[in-house]
A = this chain, B = another copy of it.
């Protein structure tokens, strides 16, 4: 099942169910006005939403081409981003002389959640000199998660899967990281692809709490990377359990994978510029790829093995803010 949020001018938009091919939708307002409301009451809402999905599968629904999608959750109470791909982490550790994370502890920070940009919105930044970078990620959305859940229990709290562009300002990131406090200035609002999908929509590409599909990134129309989502050191269920160790998680908590990265990044490419620059530093002694300029575009998409676009596409431009 695919869910989405129509931008109707309100802060949380209006919930719709979308057909598997993304071409038609049915309004879900009689079940839940917003995706947050559906997540707050998921056990009751889900079977009713699946009823709409069945009607869509039978051919009902309106044309999606005429409407504007917001992010699935245009704002959320909690966004926790991991960094679960070791090939990315190891590269950064090699380059910057930082230490690897403690064994058995996923990396995670809490980020800006009061606004998630739509997949096609212009993205405003104050300065090119801040080092504007995209980061292609997968993410999940939970219902309410009690404090202290096991990874196994956490798996059942993963209700939706999303695709995220975690915008990063690379000139600011190391300065903030060095304080130990994590990022505020270096991590403005993320963008999210339009469709939030239930795990069953991935078929066997959802396994062990991981998305076993490639995330294709194009920068200004040129292929930049196509890394597989599978090789996370920790699955999303383990990230959920880590986050819920000393707190319960509210319904609508979004947890990110961190930049998708594969050990053979020289072959498959990267999902952020910082990683490509890191590879250049290692291989050529200096980074030759610059960060994004105002007017640059980035496109990110994830296709099922049958070619279908799973989450819809992120395709957007950075602009002077």
Contact = CB atoms under 8 A, between A and B. Distances in A.
Main secondary structure of the interface of A (DSSP, over half): loop
A291 to B, nearest CB: 14
Contacts of A78: 112-114
B112 A184 contact: no
A110 interface: yes
A8 interface: no
Contact of A246 (B111, B126, B148): B126
Interface in A237-278: 242-243, 245-247, 250, 253
Given A109-B184, A245-B126, A178 B114 contact: no
Size class of the A contact interface (CB-based, 8 Å): 35 or more
A212 interface: no
5 contacts: A77-B77, A80-B184, A109-B184, A184-B243, A186-B246
Interface of A: 75, 77-78, 80, 83, 98-99, 101-102, 105, 107-115, 124-126, 130, 147-148, 169, 172, 175, 177-186, 188-189, 242-243, 245-247, 250, 253, 321
